Amino acid sequence: MTLFDLNEGDSAEIVSINMDKLPKPMLTELLELGFFPGAKILLKTKSVILGKLICTLGGTTIGLRMKDGEAILLKTT
């Protein structure tokens, strides 16, 4: 399952990030924001109009492009 597949209001644990699907600067940015294996993430909203996934990680609300969400692998908790 990826962050893109998660339903609004659901939370999960980050398992890994598929580095082949992201440019290196984006991978670095995600790591700086706390996207590490074991971190808990909550998907608040999928905004199709904006093409964004709005999620909460470590108390911070973050907007990611939907295609970047496909690179974040999760397991439900």
Per-position pLDDT tens, the chain of length 77: 999 999 999 999 999 999 899 888 999 999 999 999 999 999 999 999 999 999 999 999 999 999 999 999 999 87
Nearest CA-CA partner of 35 in 6, 62, 7: 62
Q: Where are the domains of the chain?
A: 3-76
Pick the CATH number of 3-76 from 3.50.50.60, 2.30.30.90, 3.40.830.10, 3.30.450.20: 2.30.30.90
The predicted structure's pLDDT at residue 11: 96
Q: Residue 63's beta-bridge partner residues?
A: 54
pTM: 0.88
Return the residue matching tokens 């996934």: 53
3-state secondary structure 16-70: EECHHHCCHHHHHHHHHHCCCCCCEEEEEEEECCCCEEEEEECCEEEEEEHHHHC
**Residue 5, SS3 per DSSP:** helix
